Amino acid sequence: MQVAFFDAKAYDIPSFEKYGGENGIEFKFYETKLNADTAELARGCDAVCVFVNDDVGAEVIDKLYGEGVKLVALRCAGYNNVDVRSAYGKIHVVHVPAYSPYSVAEHAAALLLTSLRRIHKAYVRTRDYNFSLNGLTGFDLHGKTVGVIGTGKIGRVFIDICRGFGMNVLAYDKFPNPEVPAKYVSLDELFEKSDVISLHCPLTSETKHMIDASAIDMMKKGVFIVNTSRGALIDAEALLEGIKARKIGAACLDVYEEEGDVFFEDLSGHIMDDETLSRLISMPNVIVTSHQAFLTEEALNNIAETTVNNILSYFNNDGVCDNELCYRCGEIENCRKGERKRCF
């Protein structure tokens, strides 16, 4: 069984070679991203394995289908880069719904703590033997209110972390979970009452730019915004204006709306064309990491193992895979497959 592996990085390869080799899967690793121009690299392969910035739109799906590809295996949870509707009836799509909620939630907490306690600034100062404390004053998380948008696996772990700090937790989710130890409120109330807002929801047509100028207007002055989910949840221009207006106290971003040609690459010797990203990075109260929240040894192993199991399940089980993204019933992740057990 051959699988074309797009957007391969050095940290991806060992775990996929290990689990693939143990199960008779040959991964063909390509550094290039999947798009309409590179889809032909999958010729002769049974499946493709893709990541968050690969293009799996309608045109790409048609080209993969023409090359005989039967399966798109996402090695991530999000699927906003996949046209699931166009894939229906042609190519099955599977994903990794949970690889390590702890890795992402802990990274969100690390960004928050680094920013509010000015740890990144202290690190730079002391490297130059500057031990002044001027400008390094932070604040206690204890007693503050955090608003968590999205209470799935990652959101729930982040809530537990915040409760450990003694924070009051407000939550918003389209589908509230009574077992989550948080007070569910409307999105407007969450914006109005939170000292910290952390995003842990998928990117859909409903959630795109949920943090926009009007949302920022409702927020407390000095609010901290943390995003480790998908960049387009935040309108970057509105965020920048909110920072310039001193409304937003800090932004902690592991994702960015236009990250596709920037993140995961070394551009240190280049001039940055994205002016919005350049301006955000230049702000003293903004921390940007390059979509690394998932990057732990545990998560990488879980991603590889689950992806390989998804591929094996599809090809060895009559096309049935529990982690299939289904368009047929309208419940993409929570498909009511019934007796059919598959999308089509």
Name the active-site residue from 75, 106, 200, 259: 259
Q: What is the C-alpha to C-alpha distance for residues 7 and 280, in angstroms, rounded to an integer? A: 26
Which is the catalytic residue, given 92, 95, 107, 230? 230
Residue 223: left (phi > 0), alpha (psi -120 to 50), or beta? Answer: beta
Q: Using an 8 Å Cβ cutoff, are 287 and 256 in contact?
A: no
Longest CA–CA span in the chain (Å) reads 68
- Whether 230 is catalytic: yes
- Catalytic residue status for 259: yes
Q: How far apart are CA 178 and CA 191, in angstroms?
A: 21
Give the whole-angstrom CA distance, residue 267 versus residue 191.
35
> What is the rounded CA–CA span in Å between residue 233 and residue 256?
9
Distance (Å, whole) CA 252 – CA 58 = 33
The DSSP annotation for 160-175 comes to HHHHHTT-EEEEE-SS
Active-site position among 95, 107, 200, 291: 291
Run of H or E residues at 8: none
Q: DSSP secondary-structure letter at 184?
A: E
In this structure, is the dihedral angle defined by the CA atoms of residues 319, 320, 323 and 328, taken in order, positive or negative? positive
Closest CA to 191 of 172, 204, 166: 172
Alpha-carbon dihedral angle through residues 205, 240, 150, 61, given to the nearest 10 degrees: 40
> Which residues are known catalytic residues?
230, 259, 291
